Amino acid sequence: MHEPWSPDGPSRVIRGDNLEVIRALPDASFRLVYLDPPFNTGRTQRRQTITTTRNPEGTRGGFKGERYDVVKTTLYRYDDRFEDYWEFLEPRLAEAWRLLDDRGTLYLHLDYREAHYAKVALDALFGRENFLNEIIWAYDYGARTRSRWPAKHDTILVYVKDPARYYFDSESVDREPYMAPGLVTPEKVALGKLPTDVWWHTIVSPTGREKTGYATQKPEGILRRIIQASSAPDDWVLDFFAGSGTTGAVAAALGRRFVLVDENPDAVEVMRARLGEEVVFG
């Protein structure tokens, strides 16, 4: 059994079945819930990181004749196949609604295969009047196809607990460059523009500082925008498909408190290394 979570306590990572864990959390405890569940793609998701070290006797050649050893590190994977995907997800969405406070917001991050089913389910759970946005996160990386338009976006559905009271602070969100700066004043160019519901943002770079090696890691820039807009400093943020812990890393950097849940031991170890000693694990 896990020790009961307290809103007066520190941020926390809990390993366990997320439905069991969140059912033990008290009503209306969180200002923001971000969920990035398995996408039900029908395949095993995996990522293995590779590092190189210079060695005159190494197995790989490089620039100017240098030789390197190649070291494969931990392989992270999970099975993204569900026969009963919505039987799995719907009770967790119902718990998300219960756990949001009256000013709270849910962000549900999915790909094109499931987004339309999720919209119908969330309309029933939250009410259609509580639908706030469909955010499109567009990127330009990965496999190409010539048999259809290449799929290069994810969908993030945004629902609020109370459409008359929800928290939203657009002024705290990092601004972005104008796509046509010549059409606006120099003052506006210098300030930047507020984001719309289409977000152009690269994926986590395979060689960047954010990379943890976890297969489904999302970029900090996406979570930063969500947390800036829909929570205030000291608010509680919940992510019960926590994966690599990006939600917690960004929440901590922005002065929010968080609860992360995942049953994958690889995920918990990645979060332990990423989030530091101030977070309670268990």
With a pLDDT cut of 70, the percent of the chain lying above it is 82
Query: For residue 226, what pLDDT is reported?
Result: 98
Each residue of 195-244: pLDDT tens digit?
Answer: 999 999 988 876 677 777 677 789 999 999 999 999 999 999 999 999 99
Domain range 12-41+81-281, CATH class: alpha beta
Averaged over 140-146, what is the pLDDT? Answer: 79
Beta strand pairing status for 131-138 and 67-80? unpaired
Query: For residue 94, what pLDDT is reported?
Result: 96
pLDDT at 50 over 60: no
pLDDT at 22 over 80: yes
pTM: 0.83
What is the amino acid identity at position 213?
A: G
CB atoms within 10 A of CB 179: 8
CA distances from residue 145 to 204, 244, 246, 278 in whole angstroms, order as listed: 22, 29, 30, 45
Query: For residue 145, what pLDDT is reported?
Result: 85
If one compares 70 and 111, the residue with the highest pLDDT of the two is 111
Query: For residue 65, what pLDDT is reported?
Result: 59
Query: For residue 193, what pLDDT is reported?
Result: 95
If one compares 6 and 114, the residue with the highest pLDDT of the two is 6
SS3 for the chain is CCCCCCCCCCCEEEECCHHHHHHCCCCCCEEEEEECCCCCCCEEEEEEEEEEEECCCCCEECHHHCEEEEEEEEEEEEEECCCCHHHHHHHHHHHHHHHEEEEEEEEEEECCCCHHHHHHHHHHHHCHHHEEEEEEEECCCCCCCCCCCCCCEEEEEEEECCCCCCCCCHHHCCCECCCCHHHCCHHHHHHCECCCCEEECCCCCCCCCCCCCCCCCCCHHHHHHHHHHHCCCCCEEEECCCCCCHHHHHHHHCCCEEEEEECCHHHHHHHHHHHCCCCEEC
Geometric angle at alpha carbon 95, from 89 and 101, rounded to 5°: 135
Each residue of 267-282: pLDDT tens digit?
Answer: 999 999 999 888 999 8
Give the model's confidence band at 67: pLDDT under 50 very low, under 70 low, under 90 confident, else very high. low
Q: In the chain, where are the structural domains located?
A: 12-41+81-281, 43-80
Give the model's confidence band at 87: pLDDT under 50 very low, under 70 low, under 90 confident, else very high. confident
